[in-house]
């Protein structure tokens, strides 16, 4: 099987990740580049001392989707309709593939903040207590709760051997 050199790269995930590594060559003599971030199956992985995922593109995609919904619907639709659109169209962008990554508490809080910013824009307030009560009233689950439930489901999943 031949390697597609335009789509292949190397990424170092180890305690010595900050050291420049020797070039990796294919059988044809082409050198694979070393990168600091790579995309695999829609998830972005970052060069670091331990396995780490990048959330920047997911957050950017969420903001892009939420802003396009606000641009089309604006203040015409009710808050419930806008939240359902966000839940069905934008939340999957933000949540994609995160069950497989072990996220730090700071990463999970940054995902929760993205959702909080959406609610701040929707209800035109910066008060986090108002945002939390609106989320509770609308039965909106934060990422920290959703991600915890999805991760437990993934851990408890038994794979069938063929």
List, for residues 29-50, the tens digit of each pLDDT value.
788 888 778 888 877 888 877 7
Weakest mean pLDDT among 41-55, 124-138, 148-162: 148-162
Sign of the C-alpha dihedral, residues 105, 111, 112, 116?
positive
Domain boundaries in the chain? Answer: 7-19+31-54, 56-156
Q: Render pLDDT for 99-125 as a digit per residue (tens, 0 to 9).
A: 777 778 888 888 889 988 988 888 888
The confidence score (pLDDT) of residue 49 equals: 78
The confidence score (pLDDT) of residue 162 equals: 40
The confidence score (pLDDT) of residue 160 equals: 44
Q: pLDDT at residue 153 above 70?
A: no
Task: In whole angstroms, give the CA distance from residue 69 to residue 85.
Answer: 8
Beta bridge partners, 40, equal: 43
Q: How confident is the model at residue 66 (pLDDT cuts 50, 70, 90)?
A: very high
Q: pLDDT at residue 52 above 70?
A: yes
Q: How confident is the model at residue 161 (pLDDT cuts 50, 70, 90)?
A: very low
Q: pLDDT at residue 62 above 90?
A: yes
């Amino acid at each position: 099987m031949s390697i597609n050199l335009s789509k292949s790269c190397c990424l170092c995930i180890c305690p010595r990740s900050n050291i420049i590594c020797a070039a990796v060559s294919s059988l044809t003599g082409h050198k694979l580049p070393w990168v600091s971030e790579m995309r695999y199956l829609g998830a972005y992985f970052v060069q670091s001392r331990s396995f780490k995922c990048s959330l920047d593109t997911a957050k950017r995609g969420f903001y892009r989707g939420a802003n396009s919904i606000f641009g089309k619907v604006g203040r015409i639709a009710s808050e419930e309709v806008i939240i359902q659109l966000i839940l069905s169209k934008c939340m999957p962008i933000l949540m994609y593939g995160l069950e497989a990554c072990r996220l730090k508490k700071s990463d999970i809080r940054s995902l929760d903040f993205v959702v909080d910013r959406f609610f701040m824009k929707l209800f035109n307030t910066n008060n986090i207590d108002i945002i939390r009560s609106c989320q509770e009233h609308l039965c909106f689950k934060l990422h920290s709760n959703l991600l915890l439930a999805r991760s437990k489901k993934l851990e408890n999943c038994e794979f069938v051997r063929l």
